[in-house]
Structure formats: structure tokens, C-alpha cells
Amino acid sequence: MGKRAFLSANEAAAYGVKLAKPDVVSAYPITHKPLWWKRLRISWQKAKQIMNI
Amino acid sequence: MVEKVADFLAEGEADYEYMMVESEHSAMAAALGVSMMGARAFTATSSQGLMYMAEMLNYTSGGRHPVVMVNANRALAIPWNIYGDHSDAMAMRDCGWIMLFAESGQEALDMVIQAYKIAEDKDVMLPVMVNVDGFTLTHTYDVVDIPEQELVDAYLPSFDTANKMCLEHPKTLCHSVGPDYYTEAKIAQQEAFEVAKAKIVACDEEFEAMFGRGYGGLIEEYCCDDAEYALVAMGGTVGTVRDVVDELRAAGEKVGLIKIRGFRPFPEEYFQSVKSKFKAMGVIDRSLCFGVGGTVFGEVKSALYGSEMGLKGFVLGLGGRDISVDMIKEMFAELKECPAGEYSDQPIFVGRRW
């Protein structure tokens, strides 16, 4: 049984990509933020939860 | 879309390598290189980006490397316009890629998974472009079922190919040839497209058996059994036509919808089989083949050669202009006035302002 989510077609297609398990994704995303920025943002969100701020 | 793909990686939900490159041309060149190493590659683009990767599209297809790409269908410059139509994909219709068009977010998700199974089939080995209408689909939200990974793994085996760089079995890939080999290479691609017609249907049927959702392979007929007038559509427009068909059917009108899901390979056999099924057929194009008319219309007209049906080619929804329910009703009304055997030799622009 899968799960249901409210997604744009962009996000839905991205889920398709994740499920297809490519070895490599190559991309030139105009609006992209670097991976280190995304990881920093996630770390910051987790830190805020831990510190309750 | 690739931003969401990157999010999965950043959040530890995926473990693919993510290559940030400096251009769309490089994105496809990188995907080709990945596939040449026998690995599964993905990339995505849109509009001018697809134009910029044009050179590498033919390298990838000619080399028979099964890269999968999502193209968010958008208009081409000039005038520069970031909104949706099919001009980008249609400009690349002869680049040797299988081209599928999704109607919804759900179909986009499912189509990406199906695309790898089709592309990597040993009798096909062609890249697949999954087309998703820009903005009307890519940026609108709907409830989507996300399948379980285990089920997808059972449907889609890992990529295994002999068409790769291998020190134990060295070979030349993406090489140059003279006139004595080029023709046969192109014939081999053409034959693979013929094989792909059945494979696309088979992959969709297998998907339906496992996931409970099927899309008809290359074509879906909607309310066509007793229809007298039918509209042909691709992509997100299909959903609107479907609603109008329901409304007109409720009013007693014998109308139907033909959804083209697979544009390359083109479902020529289907159109040959319905040469005398309807009184008139209309084709909705969201792109222009300049000097000819609607791009899809040209293909349908060719496949219907010898038909006595009325046939009209409508062009609308360019550069993101809305395709309304009233426009679709207007097209059905025009079909009812279309005498048998008559076809439009000039594109009919629906919703033009002047």
C-alpha cells in the first residue's frame, strides 16, 4: 500500500525519479540552491527543534 | 523538479549522485556519459534548455543509451515566454527519443517509472522523454498516490546492459562511421521504435496489473465506442477535454476523446484503424509547424490517408494561453459542421485575439 500526498506534477515526477533509483542525476537548475545549502537548512531546522526555538 | 530530486538527497531519502553542471547541454552530455558506463541516468529540462541540449539528444539516441528525461513543456522564444505549450518537444520530435505525454501528476510519476522499463528493454534501448505540461501540470497540485519502493523494485529491475564501457570487453561507443554504415544504424533505430510500440503497451499493462493504474499504452479512447465526433489531444489538455465530453454526453451528444500518450513512436496503426469510425475528427495542437500547421495534425492527417472523415486541425494554448471549456465546445461544434471528406489545409486558431 502506497501513501497519498498533495503534490504538483513537478514533485510527483520527482517521486517517480526517486523510486526508479537512478545512479546519477545531472541537472542545470536555474533556481537551484547547492546541496550543502539544503543540508545546512535541514541541520538548522533540526537544531531549532532540539533547542526549542 | 530537479530541486525536489535534490531535496530527497539532502534529506537522506535517496543515494544517487547529483551532478550540478553549467548548462543543459552539459546535463545531457553528463547523462550520456553516465549511461555509457552502464549506470542509470536521469535529467530534466524545459523550453530553451531543451533547445540547448539538442545536439546531445541525438548523440544519446543514436548511441542507444536509455537515459530518461522529464521535459516541462513550455513555449520557445521569441517572443520570450515562460508559459506552457508543446513547442519545445515538437521541435525535437525527430531526435530519436521516445516521447510520452502525461495528463496528470499521477501519470507523470507513473510514467517516469514506466519510462525506465521501456528505455532499458534490451530490444528497445532508446532514451525516453517524459513530457509534462509546464505550469498547468508542473505547478498545480493534486492528490497523488506514491507507490511503495518494494513494488517499484519488483516492476523495474536494475539496469544491466552490454552497451557500455568495459575493460574486459572493450568496444567503441558513440563512434563515427562513413556512408557504408550510417544508413544501417538509422534503420536499427527505426526498427527499435517499431518494437517500442508493443513494449510501451506491455509495460503499461504490467504496471496496471501491479499498481492498479493503466493508461492505454500509446493511445486512450474515451467515450469513443459510439462517438460521431472526436477530438485528439495530448498532455494536460486531455483532462479538460475529458470533462467537456462528459458534459456534452450528459446532454446527449455523441462526442469522444482520443488521448495520444505516445507521440514517438507515433500510433499510426491506431489512426489507420479508425479511418471510418467517426463523422469528423479534430486535432488539438499546442505547437505550430511553421509553413504547415499544427504539428500533431500533420501526423494524424498522414496516418488517416484515404479516410472519408472530416478532419480539422486546431491550434490553441500557445505560450500558456488558457484552453477553456468553451473553446473545446467550440471545436466540437465546428466538427459537427464539417462535411465528410473535408479537411482543413490551414490551421484553425482558436481563441485568437485578432
Quick one: which H or E segment has residue B302? helix B295-303
The string of DSSP codes covering B181-241 is: HHHHHHHHHHHHHHHHHHHHHHHHHHHHHHHS----TTEEEES-TT-SEEEEE-TTHHHHH
Rg (CA), chain A: 15
Average pLDDT of adjacent 10-residue blocks, chain B of 354 residues: 92 94 96 98 97 98 98 97 97 98 98 98 98 96 97 97 94 93 97 98 98 97 98 98 98 98 98 97 97 96 95 98 98 96 92 95
* Same fold yes or no, B2-211 and B219-349: yes
Interface of A with B in 7-46 (CB under 8 A): 7-29, 31-35, 38-39, 42
Q: What is the pLDDT of residue B138?
A: 96
Spatial separation of the C-alpha atoms in residues B100 and B234, rounded to whole Å: 9
This complex has an ipTM of: 0.96
Contact B19 A17 (CB under 8 A): no
Spatial separation of the C-alpha atoms in residues B51 and B78, rounded to whole Å: 13
Secondary structure of residue A26 in the 3-state scheme: strand
Spatial separation of the C-alpha atoms in residues B271 and B219, rounded to whole Å: 10
Q: What is the pLDDT of residue A33?
A: 62
CATH topology of domain B219-349: Rossmann fold (3.40.50)
Nearest 5°: CA angle at B223, between B202 and B260? Answer: 45
Q: What is the DSSP letter of B135?
A: T
Q: What is the pLDDT of residue B150?
A: 97
* Cell 550520456 found at: B32
How many CA atoms lie within 13 Å of A16's alpha carbon, on the beta-carbon side? 31
**Position A47 pLDDT exceeds 90:** no
Q: Which chain B residues have a beta carbon less than 8 Å from that of A45?
A: none
Domain assignments of chain B as residue spans, ordered by start:
2-211, 219-349
Domain at B2-211, CATH homologous superfamily: Thiamin diphosphate (ThDP)-binding fold, Pyr/PP domains (3.40.50.970)
Q: What is the pLDDT of residue A40?
A: 74
* B152 Cα to chain A: minimum distance (Å): 7
Q: What is the pLDDT of residue B12?
A: 92
